[in-house]
Amino acid sequence: MAELLEIKDLTKKKWDFKAKWSRRTRQNFWIGVLFLAPWFIGFILFTFYPLAASFVYSFSEYHSRKPLIWVGLENYQTMFTDKLFWTSLWNTLYMVIFAVPITLLTSFLCAVLLNLKVTGQSIYRVIYFLPSIVPTVASTLLWLWILNPQAGVMNTLLGHLGINGPNWLSDPTWSKPSLILLGTWGMGSTIVIYLSGLQDVPVSLLEAAELDGANWWQRLRYITIPMVSPITLFNLITGMIFMFQYFAQAYVFRGTQGLGSPLNSTLFYSVYLFQTGFQYLKIGYASAMAWVLFIIILVCTILMLKVSDRFTYYAG
């Protein structure tokens, strides 16, 4: 009984405290609410409402000029028999499985080189970072010219070496590898993130290992790589999320070569979703695809976080 009375007294004091807010305190509170209002309104209009609407549309057949028709799980069931859906999903998984690790490895090696104390270090860093600030459309068109099988720079250089260059963007075997090559060219932001992590590796550990006789490779393997493993995890998750939503480069390629060509080898999930929703106007089916993609990304992210303790080291 005494404890209940004590709780009531504490509750009463809290309400008394709110009731005794000074005029200035109340004024500051509403000023704070006023400053938060634009963000809150924007969140409701441009994030929460589209999210809720797409969830409803995924269970319906919707057209902007027709009333919404509830179809239940029909949109999700259609995916199991849609060959283009599975093709786009496989193409996207290919990029996740191959492009993300290649980009991480290449970025880390470039960051290690850029972390060396050499003359002109800052110039090299700028050169490596510059491609990442080139607009996506411009860089994609540039690489379409570089990889042109007849007059491209790549095949011309390979020809001087006596190698018959492949038909990069018109051959289903080479279309996705060529896009991976394009992606590694613009990995400057990942390099910068790795470079910041390398500069936080304690110099004392590296010097102690060197005094103990560890060579460059042993210091890299047993000290540097474990110390930057949290950054590797971050880049891995963000790279996976980005690659599951791979769109811009493939869409530009679609505009120059035809959607999904050659033989739908570059028909990625986001491209097919865009085609379904905004070209075929199947808003309900596209919304269902978007939610399936969200679930796939969520599951993959959770799995990565679950297994990250095996290879991630957090100092302290």
Q: How many domains does the chain have?
A: 2
142 and 208 share one domain? yes
Q: Are residues 59 and 204 in the same domain?
A: no
- Compute the average pLDDT of residues 125-143: 90
Interval 34-52 mean pLDDT: 93
Residues 102, 242 within the same domain: yes
Amino acid type, 273: L
CA atoms of 167 and 73, how far apart (whole Å): 42
Domain containing 60: what range? 22-76
Q: Which residue has the higher pLDDT, 118 or 20?
A: 118
- The answer to whether 175 and 169 are in contact (CB under 8 A) is yes
Could you tell me how many helices (H) and strands (E) the chain has, helices first?
18, 2
Confidence grade of residue 31 (pLDDT, cut at 50, 70, 90): very high
Same domain, 129 and 255: yes
Do 63 and 113 fall into the same domain? no
Confidence of residue 213 (pLDDT cuts 50, 70, 90): confident
pLDDT digits (tens, 9 = 90+) for 290-313: 999 999 999 999 999 999 888 888
The more confident residue out of 305 and 316 is 305
pLDDT of residue 1: 53
- Same domain flag for 39 and 187: no
Within-domain flag for 6 = no
Residue 16 has pLDDT above 60, yes or no: no
Query: Is pLDDT above 90 for 286?
Result: yes
Would 121 be classed as within a structural domain? yes
Give a yes or no: residue 14 inside a domain: no
Helix 248-257 and helix 136-146, axial crossing angle in degrees, nearest 10: 50
Asked, for residue 316, whether it belongs to a domain, the answer is: no
pTM of the model: 0.84
| Residues 201 and 289 grouped into a single domain | yes
Mean residue pLDDT of the chain comes to 87
Question: Of 76, 109, 140, which one is at a domain's C-terminal end?
Answer: 76
Instruction: For residue 116, give the CATH number of its domain.
Output: 1.10.3720.10
